[in-house]
Structures are given as C-alpha cells and as structure tokens.
Structure 1
Amino acid sequence: MNESVIDGAPAAPAVGGGRRTAGAARPAPAAAPARAARSRRLRPLLFCAPFLVLFAAMYVAPIVYAAVSSLFTVHRSGLGLTAPTKVFDPLGNYSRAFGDGAFLSSLGRVALFGVVQVPVMLGTALALALLIDSRSARGKGFFRLSSFLPYAIPGVSAALVWSFMYSSQSSPINRLLHPVGFSIPFFHSEVVLWSVANIVTWSWAGYNMIIIYAALQSIPAEVLEAARMDGASALRIAWSIKIPAVRGALVLTAVFSIIGSAQLYNEPTVLQPVSDGSISSAFTPIMSAQNAVAAGNYPYAAAQSVLLALLVGVVSFVFFKLTHRGEEQA
C-alpha cells in the first residue's frame, strides 16, 4: 500500500505526491496578522519616503555641509600664486566673525529692522483683516484681492518699482511734496533702512492679512451675535473677542516675519546701485555672507550663515516661550 498508517489511522496523502512527516513544524496562527500589522505600520513611511529624501537632500545636507565647512579656514600664500588651502580651525571663522565690524553692524541693523518693521506690518495686517471682516464692510472680495496683490509681485520687481519711486530725479512722491517745499531723502544713510522696510511692509502686509482674516472666519457667529445683543460696540467686539481669537495666527505670522527679517536680501541688493553708497555690500548678514562667497572664502560665509541661523533660532524659541507663557497666564 502507498499510504502509511500512524496509530492505526491512515495518514492523508501529501499534495504533489509528497508525504507529511510527523515532526514537521506548523506556522504559528499569529504570524499572518503580525505581518499584516507590520505592513500597515510601514505603509505610511513609504508615502513619506519621497518627502524625507528631498528634505534630507535639500535641507539637512546643506546645513550639515555649511556647519562642517565653517570649521575650516582658507589659507593663501603671500604672492597668491598657489591654490588656497583649507586648514582645520574650528573657532577661526567664528572668532573672525565676532571681530568683523561690518558683519556685527549688519546683525544690529537687521535686529533694529525687525523690532520696528514686524510690529508695524502685523499691526497693518491686523487692521486690514478687522476692517474687511467687519459687519458693515462692502466689496470684501475686492479689498482682499487688492491687499494681497502686492505679495503676488516678485520681490525683485517690487524693489525695482520702488527704486523709481525713491529716485531723487524721478520720484513722484517728492514731486507731489515739492509745492509745500518738502522732500524725503529716501537714500539718506539714516533713512534708507526704513525705505527698505516700507517695501517689505507693502509686499507682505497683505499676505499676513489673509492668514489673520482666515483665523477670523473660525470665530462662531453665535459668539459675535451674543456680544452684539449685549450691547457691545464693534470696537469692543474686535478688542475683546476677535483679537484674542486670532492670537495663534498673530504668533505664527510674527515668527514668519522674524525669520523673513533675518533673510533680508532682495530689496537692499536691488536698491544698492542707486543708493548713493548708503547701502553697502554688507548691509545685511546675508549680503555679508554673499560678499565672502564672492571673495572665494566659502568657510567664512558658512560661519556667518551658521551664526545667523543660531541667532534666529534662539530669538524664535524665546518668542514662542514668551507668547506661550502669556497664553497660560491669560
């Protein structure tokens, strides 16, 4: 007989003519569900993989490269006949940056710019958002679009237009002020920073206004109606209900604006040729780093960039902590 008998009972024939052995291991019942659960956990990583790869290649890798490059200093021979060499000197570029008066001045200039320009811009954006959101406002779509339109214009193009507006020969602003015997020296050394701030405010106030206006739309209509029935004026509603409700949006736009202030580059660079020397090649930290790149000193430019990134990170962290503490106390 072809069938084997185990304990008096015929064993079932194996598929394909094979035989089942008594000691064969059987798969554990929970193996298949475990594999399925593991597959479900890995599936989101597969969808995130393209982003993670691009994030690592375009963001993390340049930061690491800049940080490593800043640890080397460039040495050139006295006659400059040989190629420059890089020497490992972890503190060389950083000590040079802290002793570089032009770079330190650019940091102070940008800090002053942010302290003045950011509150003015966000105050303007908040006022525009509250006006458009008011109950009696008409043509809301038109005013939203017209306020946002400057942001749609590239920064370089906007700076070119404003360079014409600021020009001492062709400024239409000073032509309008000429009959009253007054003119604005837009490119004076004490005024040029605020001329740049005006361009940035004009370009970005509408963008921040849209974010704040979107936050205003999340306020329940029942809350506003109850305030009106209690006799609250529009100003009281805006101060006691609307502004506290958009606190998160204000913090978000403030952090974005702080980072944007540190990245100030396009506007002063475009205005530099027509500024009569009031805008130097190291007017902002990024312009100073770009100046080092033009001189072929990439490690020093990397050190300046790392210092700027660290300072912006510290300021943003402190700002978040202060605003969060304010929310807890409120």
Structure 2
Amino acid sequence: MGREPVRPTGTAEQTAVAPKRAAVPDGRRGRETALGLRTLLLFGGPFAVLFAAMYIAPLLYATVSSLFVVKRSGLGLAPPTREFEPLHNFVQAFGDHDFLGALARVGLFAVVQVPLMLGVALGLALLLDSRSARAKGFFRLGAFLPYAIPGVSAALVWSFMYSSESSPINQLLEPLGVRIPFFANGAVLWSVANIVTWSWTGYNMIIIYSALQTIPAEVLEAAKMDGASALRIAWSVKIPAVRSSLVLTTVFSIIGSAQLFNEPAVLQPISSGAISSAFTPIMSAQAAVAAGNYPYAAAQSVVLALTVGVLSFVFFKLTSRGENA
C-alpha cells in the first residue's frame, strides 16, 4: 500500500486567511531594548541615586556603626577607640529604662492619637464630600492650612498657648475656676498630641477627600435610589471605597509617631522638667549623640527602625487579610 499524504490540520479557508507573523529583525529588537534601558535610566536613575544616597547609605552606615563600641581611657587623656562588639549596644538599649520608656510612650501616643486624628480627618472629608456642603474650597483650605505651617513654628505658637504665665486658654477659663495643667506628668503627652493632631489632620483629610472624589457617581445614585440615607451611604459605600487611603494614612501616621521630635523638643524648655531629654526615641538617640556615643545612638535608631518596620508589615498583613476575607 502507498503512503497517505499528510493533510493540513485546518481547512483550506483557515489556512488561506491565517495571518503570517512578521519576523522582527534582531537589529531592530536590540535597538528597542537599548532605547527602553536608556529611558529607564533617564527617568529612574535620579530617583535611584537620591534614594541610595539619602536612605540606603545612612541606614547601612548606622547599622555598621551600631556594631562598634567607643571606649575611653580612665583618665580621658588618650583618644577614644572603637572596638567591634556587635551585641553590646543593643543589649544596652534593651536595658536602658529611659529608651524603653520612650518607646512605650510613643507607642501609647500612636495608639490614641492616630485613630483620633484619622477619625477627625475622615469626618471632615465626608462633610466636604456631601452634597449639602457649601464653600468647600474655603473649608478645605482652612483645614489644610495648619499643615502648611512648619512643625517647629506650630510648636512655638502652641508653646505660647501652653505657657503657665501667658496661656490665653487658661486666662479664658480663669473666671470659671478651671486651669489646665498642660505640662503635668499625665497631660504633657496629650499636649504634644494636640499639636500633632492640629498640624496633620488636614493633610490626611486631603488624601481621604481625594479618594472620595474617585467614587463613581452612578454608585452613589444607585444607593440613593435604593432608599439609603446620607449616613447609610457614607458608612456602607464611601468609607469602604476609601479603605486603601485609610490604610495608607495609618501607616504614614505610625511612621510619623515614631519620628516624633520637633514638638517635644520645642516644648522642653518650658515644660518644667516634664519633657526629658529621652522623652521620645529620637530624642534619646540625640542625647547619646550629644554625649559623643555615636554607636549607641545608631543602635537606638536601628531598633526604632526595625520596630516601625515590623509594625507596618503586621498592619499591612492584617488589613490585607481583612480585605481578602
């Protein structure tokens, strides 16, 4: 028997109309790849250089410095020496009651102040986004204006408001027989929290308000046609829609709480000792720098950075789990 001819897998019509894939020359493909690399370097290069110089390099330097110990002679006549003892500074940090107290203080600050600030920011954003709101531009600018004031300047203004001698707040409350002890041991942390809340609420409000503007009008109209009230729409439609913005502002606020420095440092001279040199972790590290113990300051900075990184990672995991559930 003869061998059967090989038949095409498709019909004649399919074979006729099947488009032919144009072969790209190797030279052209190489030029496109080179152009893509040049574009990437042109736009991403400056950011990569600045990121490495301003973030990666200081972080690596602090990490390496934290592994050494500065030792001085008993009489202080010989120059100090640096010896490699990788765990010494970290053991000292976790045994330093002032540093641990500063970490706990900032942790309490974040647990109370961050939800309060973001709650106020969310409420303001929802009010501005409501249909009945008037003069939105004026109130948006008024809420954002405190953020435009530098942190040190804002702290100086509030130091005048808190002063035991010239506080206008206590002067207004004096006829009522009320006097607020802004720098009492149990109140000084919340005096600082008030300044931070006043300064940063508008910033977070703008982020949340911008997210509210991306909600499709059809979704809001459908909820309204279903008989949902304005409060119900805000709770069931708007707040879930800005969940990612709330997560973002929360992480930023946690990082900002760990970096608390300007406000307590400005208030320290008039706090009558209520704000110590180790009131926050960064102030504690600054005190170590002032004492000439740079490796110990670097170790405190590394501990603070790792703590904030772990907390931010855990928060992202918890929020992403809730979103996927």
TM-score by length of 2: 0.91
Q: Secondary structure at the match of 1:117?
A: helix
Are 1:116 and 2:115 matched, yes or no? Answer: no
The aligned counterpart of 2:293 is: 297
Supply the AA of the counterpart residue of 2:40: L
Query: How far is 1:168 from its partner?
Result: 1.1
The residue matched to 2:302 in structure 1 has which SS?
A: helix
Partner residue of 1:35 out of 30, 33, 38: 30
**Worse-superposed segment, 201-210 or 35-44:** 35-44
1:227 paired with 2:223, answer yes
1:80 aligns with 2:76: yes
State the partner residue of 1:46.
41
User: Could you tell me how far 1:180 is from its partner in structure 2?
Assistant: 1.2
Cα distance in 2 for partners of 1:31, 1:233 equals 63
User: Structure 1 residue 57: deviation in Å?
Assistant: 1.3
Shift of 1:37: 3.1
Alpha-carbon distance in structure 2 between the residues aligned to 1:139 and 1:30:
61
Could you tell me which of 235, 240, 245 is aligned with 2:241?
A: 245
Q: What number of residue pairs does the alignment pair up?
A: 301
Alpha-carbon deviation of 1:72?
A: 0.1
SS in structure 2 at match of 1:59: helix
| Deviations, residues 282-315 of structure 1 (Å, cap 9, x unaligned) | 0000000000000111110000000000000000
What residue number does 1:18 align with? none
Matches within 5 A, 1:105-144: 105-144=101-140
1:34 shift after superposition: 3.9
Q: Residues 326 and 176 of structure 1: is their aligned pair in 2 closer, same or farther, counting only changes over 3 Å?
A: same
**TM-score (norm. length: structure 1):** 0.90
1:315 counterpart residue number = 311
- 2:42 aligned with 1:56: no
Q: State the AA in 2 paired with 1:309.
A: A
| Distance in 2 of aligned mates of 1:280 and 1:110 | 14
Tell me the amino acid that sits aligned with residue 281 of structure 2.
Answer: P
Structure 1 CA distance for aligned equivalents of residues 26 and 212 of structure 2: 52
After superposition, the CA RMSD in angstroms is 1.1
Displacement, 1:144?
A: 0.1
Q: 2:258 and 2:33 mapped to 1: Cα distance?
A: 44
- The residue type paired with residue 303 of structure 1 is A
SS in 2 for 1:209: helix
2:144 aligned residue: 148
Return the match for 2:200 from 191, 200, 204. 204
The more displaced of 168-177 and 110-119 is 168-177
Aligned to 1:10: none
Deviation of 1:30 after TM superposition, in Å, equals 4.3
In structure 1, distance between residues paired with 2:39 and 2:85: 43
SS of 2:272's equivalent? coil
- 1:71 maps to amino acid: L
Max radius of gyration: which structure?
1
Q: How does 1:158-169 map to 2 (within 5 A)?
A: 158-169=154-165
Q: Deviations over 1:39-92 (max 9, x none)?
A: 133123321222211211111111111000000000011111111110000000
Structure 2 residue 176 is the aligned partner of structure 1 residue 180: yes
Displacement of 1:155: 0.3
Shift of 1:35: 2.5
Structure 2: gaps (5+ residues): 1-23
Give 1:31 deviation, angstroms.
Answer: 4.4
Partner amino acid, structure 2, of 1:35: G
User: Offset at 1:262?
Assistant: 0.1
Whether 2:285 is the aligned partner of 1:286: answer no
Which amino acid letter does the alignment assign opposite residue 204 of structure 2?
Answer: N
Q: Structure 2 CA distance, aligned partners of 1:248 and 1:291?
A: 38
Which of 248, 254, 277 is 1:258 aligned to?
254
Give the letter aligned to residue 113 of structure 1: F
Q: Deviations over 1:266-288 (max 9, x none)?
A: 00000000000000000000000
Shift of 1:181: 0.8
One-letter code aligned to 2:214: S
User: Which of 95, 98, 103 is matched with 1:102 structurally?
Assistant: 98
Give the ranges of 4+ consecutive aligned residues of structure 1 lying more than 6 Å apart after TM superposition. none
SS at match of 1:73: strand
Q: How far apart are 1:99 and its partner, in Å?
A: 0.5
Aligned equivalents of 1:94, 1:167: Cα separation in 2: 38
- Write the distance in 1 (CA, Å) between the matches of 2:282 and 2:34: 46
